[in-house]
Amino acid sequence: MTDARLIWCHGSLSTPWGTKSLALAETAKGLGLTMEGPDFSDLDDPDLRVERLAGLLREDDRPAILAGSSMGGYVAAAAGSGAAGLFLLAPAVYLPGYAVHVFSGLPDRVTVVHGWDDDIVPVDNSVRFARTHNAALHVLADNHRLEHSTPELCALFARFLTDVLEASRP
């Protein structure tokens, strides 16, 4: 499935290509995938971002692998019905003001990574999401940005992508 689309959904106050996303894109490149990074920074509303991502997904019928951080993790999960896989970093799930609290149609391959010291999105939200969706969950000694865990994030991302790609082989 190297013809799959790999789409990165950035967080609320970030841009598509920060340190973390560039490192993940390089990891994906090593596996033959090019990561797209649409810019959602003109939209403050997470659910308008979901609509934009859904529109991007409708424009291309290739299988999609979605990855996202914080609000971008929420966006990926909310638009993730039918995706080949989801890789979510400190996803902003189950927060007030976000429309989707019941995520349906998610893929079999979902990985969630969160920091124990996250003061933006409670780690318990990711535990609940992972339990509900039988997702792989990795909780690291880090904060919301997971800025001290880049090597571990890249290793987890490589394993996740390899699993998704192998699962799609006939």
**Domains of the chain and CATH, by start:** 5-167 (3.40.50.1820)
Q: What angle do CA 89, 90, 94 make, to 5 degrees?
A: 125
What average pLDDT score do residues 7-24 get?
A: 95
pLDDT in tens, 100-120: 999 999 999 999 999 999 999
Q: What is the pTM of this model?
A: 0.97
Q: Which residue has the tokens 């339990």?
A: 131
**Residue 158 CB neighbour total at 10 angstroms:** 15
What average pLDDT score do residues 52-70 get?
A: 96
| Per-residue model confidence (pLDDT) at position 155 | 98
Instruction: Decide if 160 contacts 107 (C-beta within 8 A).
Output: no
Burial 47-74 (b: 16+ CB within 10 A, else e): eebbebbeeebeeeeebbbbbbbbbbbb
Q: How much of the chain, in percent, has pLDDT values that exceed 70?
A: 99
Burial class of 139 by CB neighbour count within 10 A (0 to 12, 13 to 18, 19+) = middle
| 1 pLDDT above the threshold of 60 | no
Residue 117 to residue 119: CA distance in whole angstroms: 6
